[in-house]
Amino acid sequence: MSDKILVIGESREGVLRNVSFEAIAAARKMNDNAEVVALLLSDGELEDQAQEMIYYGADRAVTVKHENLKNYTSEGYGQVVLEVVDEETPDAIIMGHTAIGKDLTPKIASRLELGLVSDATEIETDGEDVIFTRPIYSGKAFEKKVIKEGITFATIRPNNIAALEKDESRSGEIQAKDVDVKDLRTVIKEVIRKQSEGVDMSEASVVIAGGRGVKSAEGFEPLYELANLLGGAVGASRGACDAEYCDYSLQIGQTGKVITPDLYIAVGISGAIQHLAGMSNSKVIVAINKDPEANIFNIADYGIVGDLFEVIPLLTEELKQQIG
């Protein structure tokens, strides 16, 4: 039984990523009566974020502020997490399966000689066992895993486990902990973001993805307009990236990002198996393609057979009127 669960939160530019709240919900699914302790790391103030974690279901929060935590490094974050785990002795550790989560958690697991279940999309319990479901073979099958020994350690896929309702009446202790983050062998001089500003694709609830059918970089502009309207992000097929219509950071699929938004709109994408590997678990899939035989229609919930250059402006106009 996981009586104390450590949730490692993550923020970007001072704003907590939604997956941090989802990780708290995951902890509650493991054991609703557990003490859920949120850990936050930064070079800046963390008090408000810690309070936010408590509003979303954490019982208390530990914050670690240090100038060497300005940018993520596995060494810097690793030192903090190992020290906090040593002090808190949690029964379980949960983190988002984000770029940082994917890099940090295997290193922590190896240092602590623990098993790690990565990329869990569902959590259930059976008596004392916590059962994690995770996709395998590029999402074509699922496996269920239980950790039988040591600390239960898992990462959760963003957008799969719903965060709890924010409850501002909740309160909890916020402990500012000193950790001397030192002797780092790597120093990040500068971070140059490739992806455009705005909503992060891996956590967006709406993703509008363009394929080779979009035909040019300019052809992507209406997709950005639609995405902005819906508060979503723009993604792409590898076909579109190879054709240099957009950056590879937007690629979705087997060799790109794996996403599970509430709404995925595939625009001029044929639906190759390698593309489906990155988006087939989206909750609602809409496909716009002029070829009625396109494979994407086989997994789409809604299909629009038509020319995207006609359909997208019509859709955008209609939405503008609906949204006001």
Q: Which residues bind ligand FAD (CB under 6 A)?
A: 211-213, 237-240, 251-256, 268-270, 272, 274-275, 278, 288-291, 294, 307-309
Q: How far is CA 119 from CA 122, 134, 230, in A?
A: 9, 6, 27
Sign, CA dihedral 18-24-26-28, equals: negative
Closest separation in Å from C-beta 254 to ligand FAD: 4
For residue 108, how far is the Cα from the chain centroid? 19
Among residues 39 and 288, whose Cβ is nearest to ligand FAD? 288
- Separation CA 319–CA 311 (nearest Å): 12
- Separation CA 138–CA 119 (nearest Å): 12
Closest separation in Å from C-beta 210 to ligand FAD: 8
Among residues 6 and 311, whose Cβ is nearest to ligand FAD? 311
Closest separation in Å from C-beta 293 to ligand FAD: 9
Q: Residue 176's closest CA among 46, 86, 53, 54?
A: 46
* The token pair that represents 6 in the structure block: 């450590």
- Separation CA 206–CA 248 (nearest Å): 19
- The phi, psi pair for 177, rounded to 5°, reads -105, 140
Closest separation in Å from C-beta 209 to ligand FAD: 8
Residue with tokens 């062998």: 185
Among residues 57 and 271, whose Cβ is nearest to ligand FAD? 271
Closest separation in Å from C-beta 178 to ligand FAD: 43
Among residues 226 and 269, whose Cβ is nearest to ligand FAD? 269
* The token pair that represents 129 in the structure block: 């066992």
* The token pair that represents 50 in the structure block: 């810690």
Closest separation in Å from C-beta 294 to ligand FAD: 4
Closest separation in Å from C-beta 215 to ligand FAD: 7
Among residues 147 and 233, whose Cβ is nearest to ligand FAD? 233
Among residues 54 and 214, whose Cβ is nearest to ligand FAD? 214
Among residues 25 and 288, whose Cβ is nearest to ligand FAD? 288
Q: Buried b vs exposed e over 287-299: b needs ≥16 C-beta within 10 Å? A: bbbeeeebbbbeb
